[in-house]
C-alpha cells in the first residue's frame, strides 16, 4: 500500500522523538484516516494500493517502503509514519508491498527516480532487495532499514537499522517456554521467505531446553488454512505441547487449532493486536513478544529529516533497538487501550 502524507504543522521534532523513544505508553492520537488504517484486522490486504494526501509546502520528500500488508501489525507502522510526517511537516510516501520483493524493489527504484531525500526499507527478503538497496546508496540518498535487516544494513551502506534483534527476541521466548514447563514447541511461521521470522525460531531453539519444530503454516491472509495446518501438525505429533506463533495472528489460530484437536497447549506470540491482548488477559495465551512497531515507523522518518536538514545521524554504526518487550497477563490491561488506539 502506498500513501503520501503531507501535513501542515511543523512540530517540535526532537521533543516528539524523545517521547516516542522513552515511553512504552505513548498515546499519540492519529488523524481519522490514519486511525482507520489501524483498525484491528487479522487479514492482509491482497494488493498494494496508492492514496495521496497533499497539504504541505515542505520541499523534502521521504519514502518508507516495506513488505507490509496493512494488517494488524503494519497498520500501526502506517499510523506512526503519518504521525512522524506531521511532526516534520514534509511529504512522506509509504508503500507496503504485501510480501512481494519485486514490487518493493520497483517502489524503491521509483523513489530514487523521484529524487527522494531519504529512503527507509524493510529487508524481509535481503537477496531480493539487495540491488535496489545498493542503488539507493549509489544515488547518494540516505538509506535506513526497519523491522527486518539488522544483519544486512551495514553491508548495504544504510545509516542504521531500527527494529529488534530477532534472535534475541526468540531467545526470550525460549526462556519463557522453559519457565512454563513446555517440552516440544511448534514454531509456526506466516511467511516462507522472511529471514526475520526464521531467526525468531532459531533464537527460540537456542534457549529452549526441549525440541523445536519450525514450520510455515500459511499466510495471514488465509486464517482458515493456518488453523487447519496447525491442527494437522498437532494431530500428527502428540508430543507438541506448545506453539510459538511468530506474528500476532498465529497465536489465535493456534488457540483455535488446539481446541479443534482436543489439545491443551502453552501458546506464545509476537507483536500485538486487540484480540491477542484479550486472549492474554483471559489467560488463554501466555505471552507475546512486543517489538514496538510504532517506533519502527516513527523513528526512521524523524532520522531521515534530521539528516536531510541538520546533517544529524544516529546509531553510531549500531542498530537502534525497539524490542523485545513482553506482554503477559501482568501488564496486558495497560497495553490493551493503546492497541485499540492504533499506536501499539
292 within 8 A of 322, measured Cβ to Cβ: yes
**CA gap 129, 122 in Å, rounded:** 9
**CA gap 98, 104 in Å, rounded:** 9
Strand partners, 65: 95, 121
Residue range(s) of every CATH 3.40.50.2300 domain in the chain: 2-164+291-323, 166-290
| H, E, C per residue of 169-228 | HHHHHHHHHHHHCCCEEEEEECCCCCHHHHHHHHHHHHHCCCEEEEEECCCCCCHHHHHH
At 194 the pLDDT is 87
For residue 303, give the H/E element and its range: helix 293-310
**CA gap 249, 254 in Å, rounded:** 9
186-206 pLDDT per residue, tens: 999 999 988 889 999 999 999
Strand partners, 62: 92
At 47 the pLDDT is 64
**All residues at 6 or more sequence positions from 23 whose CB lies less than 8 Å from its CB, including other chains:** none
285-298 pLDDT per residue, tens: 999 999 999 999 99
| H, E, C per residue of 250-265 | HHHHHHHHHHHHCCCC
Residues in the chain where the model's pLDDT stays below 70: 1-2, 5-56
Prediction pTM value: 0.74
At 42 the pLDDT is 39
Fold classified for 2-164+291-323? Rossmann fold (3.40.50)
**All residues at 6 or more sequence positions from 67 whose CB lies less than 8 Å from its CB, including other chains:** 96, 97, 98, 99, 100, 101, 104, 122, 124, 125, 148, 194
User: Which DSSP letter does residue 35 get?
Assistant: H
**CA gap 44, 124 in Å, rounded:** 16
Give the CATH superfamily of 166-290. Answer: Response regulator (3.40.50.2300)
Q: CB atoms < 10 A from the CB of 326, how many?
A: 17
Amino acid at each position: 500500500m502506498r500513501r503520501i502524507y503531507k501535513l501542515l504543522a511543523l512540530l517540535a521534532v526532537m521533543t516528539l522523538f524523545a517521547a516516542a523513544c522513552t515511553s512504552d505508553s505513548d498515546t499519540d492520537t492519529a488523524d481519522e484516516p490514519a486511525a482507520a488504517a489501524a483498525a484491528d484486522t487479522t487479514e492482509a490486504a491482497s494488493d498494494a494500493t496508492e492514496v495521496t494526501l497533499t497539504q504541505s509546502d515542505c520541499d523534502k520528500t521521504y519514502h518508507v517502503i516495506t513488505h507490509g500488508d496493512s494488517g494488524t501489525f503494519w497498520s500501526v507502522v502506517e499510523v506512526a509514519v503519518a504521525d512522524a510526517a506531521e511532526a516534520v511537516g514534509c511529504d512522506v510516501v509509504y508503500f507496503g508491498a504485501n510480501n512481494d520483493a519485486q514490487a518493493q524493489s520497483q517502489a524503491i527504484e521509483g523513489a530514487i527516480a523521484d529524487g527522494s531525500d531519504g529512503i527507509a526499507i524493510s529487508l524481509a527478503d535481503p537477496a531480493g532487495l539487495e540491488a535496489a538497496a545498493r542503488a539507493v546508496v549509489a544515488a547518494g540518498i540516505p538509506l535506513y532499514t526497519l523491522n527486518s535487516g539488522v544483519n544486512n544494513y551495514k553491508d548495504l551502506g544504510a545509516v542504521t537499522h531500527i527494529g529488534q534483534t530477532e534472535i534475541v527476541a526468540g531467545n526470550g521466548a525460549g526462556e519463557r517456554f522453559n519457565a512454563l514447563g513446555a517440552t516440544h514447541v511448534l514454531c509456526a511461521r506466516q511467511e516462507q521467505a522472511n529471514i526475520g521470522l526464521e531467526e525468531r525460531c532459531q533464537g527460540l531453539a537456542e534457549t529452549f531446553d526441549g525440541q523445536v519444530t519450525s514450520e510455515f503454516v500459511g499466510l495471514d491472509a488465509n486464517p482458515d488454512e493456518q488453523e487447519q495446518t496447525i491442527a494437522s501438525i498437532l494431530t500428527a505429533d502428540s508430543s507438541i505441547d506448545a506453539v510459538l506463533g511468530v506474528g500476532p495472528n498465529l497465536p489465535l489460530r493456534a488457540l483455535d487449532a488446539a481446541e479443534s484437536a482436543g489439545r491443551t497447549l502453552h501458546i506464545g506470540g509476537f507483536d500485538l493486536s486487540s484480540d491477542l491482548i484479550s486472549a492474554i488477559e483471559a489467560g488463554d495465551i501466555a505471552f507475546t513478544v512486543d517489538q514496538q512497531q510504532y517506533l519502527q515507523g516513527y523513528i526512521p522518518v524523524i532520522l531521515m529529516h534530521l539528516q536531510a536538514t541538520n546533517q544529524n545521524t544516529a546509531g553510531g554504526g549500531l542498530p537502534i533497538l525497539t524490542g523485545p518487550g513482553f506482554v503477559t497477563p501482568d501488564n496486558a490491561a495497560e497495553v490493551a487501550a493503546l492497541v485499540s488506539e492504533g499506536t501499539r
